[in-house]
A and B are shown apart, each in its own frame.
Chain A
Amino acid sequence: MPPSIHPVDLVATLRQKNLTPAIIFLTSRRACDEAMQAFERSQVVLPKARQEQIAGVLTQVTAQFPSIAEHPLIGTVQRIGVAAHHAGHLPSWKIAVEELMRTGSLDAVFATTTLAAGVDFPARTVVVTQSSIRKARDFTDLTASEIQQLAGRAGRRGKDLVGFAVITPSPYIDLTVLTKGLTGQPEAIHSQFVISYPMVLNLLKAHPREQIQSILAKSFAQFQLNQRTAVLETKLDGLRAEMEPFGPRVCSDWITQWQIFDQARKRKKPRGPAARQESPDVAARLNFLTPGRVIGLVRGRGIILRQYRSKGQHAPMVTLLREGGALNECPASIVTQVFDRTYECEETSTYPWTTPQTLEHLTHQLAELPPRLPILPILIHPEEDVPLDSSIIHTLGDFPCPSCPSRQACQRDFPRASRVRQEIQRHTKSIQALQTSLWHRFQERIDVLERFGYLNATAQLTTDGEWARLIRIDHSLLITELIRAEAFGAIDPPLLAAIMASIAHDDDRPGSFPRGSAGLVTLLFQVRKLAESLMPHEEPPMLRADVAALTERWVADQTLTWIGLARLTTMAEGDMFRLFARTIEFLSQLKTLKGTHPSLAESADRAIAAMRRGVLEELP
């Protein structure tokens, strides 16, 4: 079985079931173009009348947008009644396809999912072949809202009694995502409020700093933060109710009081041998395990050479000389009996902890010990609470707690009360954070702008700030810094357009492009360095040299036609168009700086005029 249905068969099936016109959503531009090629190879041709209808609509659109006339796909579309519609096409061609769909002249359109969000043309049927889309280099599942947007194109008001959403499997499909999306509720939307440099400058131009907080409070972001605050506040109310029985006692803030007392008491606890976790019998025996003492083990006997504490756990340890001359390091608990006999033992500070003579002597003695030896009676104190030392009671005397009447109640309630109090403090802090987070972010931006000299110390606009606030596009900080660094001194329009294009373009689709002039390469190098230095304050743009070179060519060479330009690169026409449109948008922002930077504004104006020709002029 093929991984997915062949586009020609797909359209044939839809036609046969009377489900046309249809929009078929495919995963990529390439898939759309390949589907069109498959149709070109097939022998399916529309009847004459339908072909004439398409030709008629196309002539009408061409009257408005002459560039369509030479579009290579016109013949195919007319013959087969199917078209592709994606971002790689010129807007004028897309308008033509939309018009054809609106008049009902086409049977099917292959489109990418970007269409769902963009223009608005419905059909009787929508075919979905995927359950995920590419977002920022990664495939993510379609959301219920997106699926309903796609499916929503099915069924034309006034032209259809019912609409159809048809799912056909491809390797990119997860049926449950789609069925859930079709039957589910659309997702709630969340604010995406970000504070940009132009926003800060423009707000501070119109309002003093004291008013900003109340303006930020009007944002949807703050509205949604307040909703979260409300949740926390109900939780807080619950906790406060829980806190009720732990109100003031003998002292008003007994929790803190008890906490400090408790800590002081713990710190003062005697830290002698008794504090160590040893069983009473081992502790009692420990005093007798001196060097030279004969002791009994589970099997055999031995002589103690040394007593010490282990490094990590501080467990009591002994070094033993055993029968047969073996030396062992053992925990003191290994000792089962302490005999009433000791030998002279000369101690040394290194292994074997005694002189060789003594060792030899002791080994000899051990071998000759009589089988029965008298056992040393050792009194074992049972474990008991060590009463507080009088000196400790003295230092704790500052606390009223030991003799307080509510001492028992405090001791009992303290764990719970302190936990609840901690929770309350935590919630109060997060509520504060929710209330002030926007303002803090705003303040951070103010600090950066102050450092760069767009704002003075009282957060008022400086002369630089006055013009910088007019640059209200992405990467505004880079652009204003470039202007201040006089990188655009007396710049030629082609070079200016090229730099703006490299800042504006945010697509990483690869391709082959013409080469830029030497001047462009040097300037772009400088722009890159500046962008890198601004990195902590603003995400640097892609600054692609290839798209810059393409723009430079288009502006510099006025004899170049659109078709000629398209031959110089593998970039899709639609992408080229978008690049230039966005560049013009950026340039027109520079044009607003007429008052302060007349030569730059002039250059931008000339660049815009030079860019608007051919397709860019005719098009909306």
Chain B
Amino acid sequence: MTTHELERLLLQQPVSLLHRLARGRISRHFRSGKRKLIDLLLHASAENRPGLESDLIALIEEQTRRQPAAPAEKLPQAQARPRAVAFLPTAPRPHKTEDHGHHEPPVSLHEWLSGIGVPPAQPFVPDAWQVDALARLAETDVVVSVPTGSGKTYVAIEATARAMRENRTVIYTSPLKALSNTKFTEFSRLFGPDQVGILTGDRRENAQASLLIMTTEILRNLLYDAAGGEIDVRLDTLGLVIMDESQYLADPERGVVWEETLIFCPSQARLLLLSASIGNPQDIADWLTAIRPTPCSLIRHTKRSVPLRAGYLHPNEKLTPLFRTTGIPYGQPHLLHPESKRLFAEYEEETGPSRSR
């Protein structure tokens, strides 16, 4: 996207979306008008243009997804708005605040608690992003950044199975021994105990298996040994490296090990980086594209597979929703439920000013 195209695209968006985009990029963005805001956004994103673009596209998609769900009579209103604004700039815009839900009554506890239950058993159908990730992995390295509990493991398992069918070695790394052990048990159950090996700082089992679970440090050491001249067949037949919890890249003490591993990872092996939601996954994908012969795709996905609701439980055992809305109002932390607001203020008051900030 050129700067000009981006600017035009930004101009077409409602101001509210621009403000959401500006969050974290521009301080005091709520003070500026639309034109100023676009200038500021373009200016602020000079260092990370792809990040801005991907966020913008994600927001537009989210909005188009939300619109069909909204009541039907709102649609023409939303379409009519730009014109109305153009001709009557001073006209009051009550529907704007309505869109934000300020005047909708806060959700009731009953409503908030409704819908608890077990979903009916249904045959497992992979999500679109999971299918997409696997398809892309056939051609490129892949970075997956999705919320906790969205099913990253499914992608790992399918990719492993595919590589093993092609007689390639698979290395699965995780940051913690406990996690390695859990995965070892899980994968042994899936692929058969003779197919799976584990290497950690203090444990070494079935070290020549075609699926190796290890801590990232061990993989780094293998790569250093190979670079130092030691011959390791496992690295020659390596077809896939899966790095779980890749957000450890930013760990103050151990992050460097992830970088070393990724720099020295054999070029014939595909990379699959699984990460929790982070702010700049595009940076990681861009980086890998820059240093590796194969390009790297980003699979980003912010929607949780099981919707989340937030509540507030007062010490007197009274439970209320935390926010006015049933779900979590992303980007609008101020939309507190009046009841939770009142109860927390009461709590702060009673437990004394020394504890509040």
Residues of A within 8 A of B (CB): 1-5, 9-10, 12-13, 17-19, 91, 94-95, 98, 117-120, 122, 124, 127, 145, 148-149, 151-169, 171, 174-176, 179-180, 182-194, 196, 199, 202, 205-207, 215, 218-221, 223-224, 227-228, 230-231, 234, 469, 472, 581-582, 584-585, 588, 620
Contact = CB atoms under 8 A, between A and B. Distances in A.
A17 B180 CA distance: 36
B286 interface: yes
A205 B227 contact: yes
Contact of A183 (B180, B333, B357): B333
B254 to A, nearest CB: 8
Nearest to A474: B253
A220 B117 contact: no
Interface stretch (B71-79, B131-139, B306-314): B306-314
Given A160-B119, A167-B312, A219 B259 contact: yes
11 contacts: A10-B313, A120-B182, A160-B119, A162-B115, A162-B116, A168-B313, A183-B328, A196-B256, A205-B227, A206-B229, A220-B262
Contact of B290 (A19, A122, A169, A223): A223
A191 B256 CA distance: 8
A191 B178 contact: no
B278 A188 contact: yes
Contacts of A199: 256, 260
A535 to B, nearest CB: 19
B203 interface: yes
B118 interface: yes
Contact of B201 (A9, A152, A186, A588): A588
Contact of A91 (B178, B185, B252): B178
B307 A155 contact: yes
Nearest to B147: A152
A2 B315 CA distance: 7
A358 to B, nearest CB: 75
Contact of B312 (A148, A166, A192): A166
A345 B252 CA distance: 82
Given A119-B179, A192-B256, A19 B184 contact: no
B291 to A, nearest CB: 4
Nearest to B24: A185
Contact of A192 (B150, B179, B201, B251): B251
A94 B329 CA distance: 35
B227 A202 contact: yes
Interchain residue pairs A-B with the least CB separation, the first 6: A152-B148, A155-B306, A585-B201, A188-B279, A189-B250, A620-B181
A205 B228 contact: yes
A510 B181 CA distance: 29
Contacts of B119: 158-161
Contact of B308 (A117, A155, A187, A219): A155
B176 A179 contact: no
A186 B147 CA distance: 10
Interface in B193-216: 198, 201-203
A184 B313 contact: no
Given A188-B280, A227-B283, A230-B46, 18 more contacts: A5-B313, A19-B116, A122-B149, A153-B149, A165-B310, A167-B312, A169-B315, A171-B351, A184-B330, A189-B278, A189-B279, A192-B253, A192-B255, A206-B227, A218-B291, A221-B259, A228-B47, A231-B46
Contacts of B271: none
B112 to A, nearest CB: 9
B5 interface: no
A215 B276 CA distance: 28
A2 B24 CA distance: 37
B148 A581 contact: no
Contacts of A10: 313
A192 B308 contact: no
Contact of A219 (B48, B178, B263, B284): B263
Interface string B309-338: 111111111010011000011111100100
Contacts of A122: 149
Given A119-B179, A155-B149, A218-B263, A184 B331 contact: yes
B344 A227 contact: no
B149 A157 contact: yes
Contacts of A17: 113, 319
Interface string B238-281: 00000001010111110110011011000000000000111110
A220 to B, nearest CB: 5
A12 B313 CA distance: 12
Contacts of A584: 201-202
B149 A13 contact: no
B48 A227 contact: yes
A161 B263 contact: no
Given A5-B317, A149-B276, A164 B283 contact: no
Interface residues of B, number: 91
Contacts of B251: 192
A221 B350 CA distance: 48
B277 A148 contact: yes
Given A18-B116, A161-B115, A184-B331, A1 B347 contact: yes
A314 B177 CA distance: 77
A231 B149 CA distance: 36
A179 B336 CA distance: 9
Nearest to B336: A179
Nearest to B109: A17
A167 B291 CA distance: 44
Interface in B146-199: 147-151, 176-182, 184-185, 198
B117 A193 contact: no
Which of B177, B280, B315 is the most central at the interface, judged by chain A CB atoms within 10 Å of its CB? B315
B179 A581 contact: no
A529 B270 CA distance: 47
A189 B280 contact: yes
B42 to A, nearest CB: 11
A167 B319 CA distance: 10
B277 A145 contact: yes
B65 interface: no
Contact of A157 (B227, B277, B306): B306
Contacts of B350: 1
Contacts of A164: 308-311
Interface in B330-356: 330-333, 336, 344, 347, 350-351, 355
A435 to B, nearest CB: 15
Given A13-B317, A163-B307, A218-B263, A185 B351 contact: no
B221 interface: yes
Contact of A119 (B178, B284, B328): B178
Contacts of A175: 344
B237 to A, nearest CB: 21
Contacts of A153: 148-149
B224 interface: yes
Interface string B44-60: 00111001000000000
A191 B23 contact: no
A194 B357 CA distance: 36
Interface string B294-313: 00000000001111111111
Nearest to A192: B255
B129 interface: no
Contact of B276 (A152, A160, A582): A152
Contacts of B336: 179
Contacts of A220: 249, 259, 262, 284, 287
